[in-house]
Amino acid sequence: MSTRKRFLVISRRPPYGSSHARDALDTALTTAVFEQPVSMLFLDDGVYQLLQAQQPGGIQQKNLGATLSALPMYDIDQLYACSDAMQSRNLGVDDCLLPVQLLDTDAIAQLIRTHDVVLSF
């Protein structure tokens, strides 16, 4: 009997200013440690977490990019971002620290339906 469930962690908040982004990453990593398949979806200001060369030292925060770059080591390589959120913020996949697949609204709805557990931060 398998107890594996497919997890989708949705991150909607910017990388700094609150603990939401770090909590989403910590949840994804912890879930993956227990050998559960994990995907991440970045929506709204959460797409800012994906940016390369973040320098949060000026606001005395730890760089989330280091944690984000660890995702593939935990077999979290299914990373998605909302194409509308990226476009409205003038961002492209070349701006991202890790490879990410852009999804439109319909594809996001389908992605959510294919997961057993959806956690939103």
Q: What is the pTM of this model?
A: 0.91
What average pLDDT does range 48-76 have in this prediction? Answer: 80
Give residue 2's pLDDT band: very low, low, confident or very high (50, 70, 90).
low
The domain in which residue 67 lies consists of 7-120
Residue 44 placed within a domain: yes
Overall number of domains in the chain: 1
What are the pLDDT digits (tens) for 12-25?
999 887 889 999 99
How far is 22 from 93, CA to CA, in rounded Å? 21
Residue 28 placed within a domain: yes
* CATH code where residue 25 lies: 3.40.1260.10
Residue 102 placed within a domain: yes
Helix then strand count (H, E) for the chain reads 4, 5
What average pLDDT does range 35-44 have in this prediction? Answer: 97
Note the pLDDT of residue 59: 52
